[in-house]
Amino acid sequence: MCRWRVRFGCAYPQSICRAFRLKVERATKQRGRPKLEVWPHLAIGVVIKRPVGRFHKLVEVERRIVRGEAEAVARQIKLSGGGKQINTSYIEGFNATLRERLGSLTRKCRRAAHKRETLHTGMYLVGSVYNFCTWHQELRVRLALRQGARVWQERTPAMAAGLTEHLWSVAELLKYKVAPKPVSRPKKRGRPALAQVAHPVVRVKKRGRPPKVAKP
């Protein structure tokens, strides 16, 4: 039980803190990678479940705030609409969806990703299809009653977040053009050029015998 608690109570918060960091600008120009600091308003909550017996009967559930204030956590839970207390069922369901749709994340598979970019791109593709191209039953909204039957409006996570108003197809998602990032000029390397100062023109006297002038 202690190992289970240490594994799931400490590993995930540490990984989250390593992932959600920002670069800190240095006061002086120094070489090397800049310092990384965790988001100042990052809030992390954990759910520790204690099973007992052969069949892992659940006897106790402990909810704890590892990072952040209780008011900030309660405000984020209210804004997300994911219940009234800390709950990990949504993120666990999303992790199960990623493992189901992306073969590189399954255990003992023959479709292992040899490069990190391959796994990164696949997760973005699966996550985009999950948010834009899939109806979610928990996000539907009840409209009215028609002839004694309830009428529901199906929604996707992107529709619930206000990013779109319709269900996207996979072709529409792949053909969507994202605006490129603004191009910044590369920094000039080497010693800066010396400033050119305008000097007065000085005439130098010619040496030697002057040329002969023809007489009239």
pLDDT tens for the chain, residues 1 to 216: 333 344 444 677 888 888 889 888 777 777 777 788 888 888 888 888 888 888 888 888 888 888 888 888 888 888 776 678 888 887 888 888 888 888 888 877 777 788 888 888 988 999 999 999 999 888 888 877 666 677 888 999 899 888 999 999 999 999 998 888 888 887 777 777 776 656 666 676 777 777 777 776
Is there a contact between 114 and 123 (Cβ–Cβ < 8 Å)?
A: no
Q: Residue 134 corresponds to which tokens in the numbers above?
A: 């899939």
What is the DSSP annotation of 96-149?
HHHHHH-GGGSTT-S---SSHHHHHHHHHHHHHHHHHS--EEEEEEEEEEETTE
Alpha carbon distances (Å) from 58 to 6, 49, 51, 52, 62: 18, 7, 4, 6, 11
Burial of residue 156 (number of CB atoms within 10 Å: 0-12, 13-18, 19+): buried
Distance CA 156, CA 174 (A): 17
Is there a contact between 50 and 81 (Cβ–Cβ < 8 Å)?
A: no
Q: What's this model's pTM, rounded to 2 decimal places?
A: 0.57
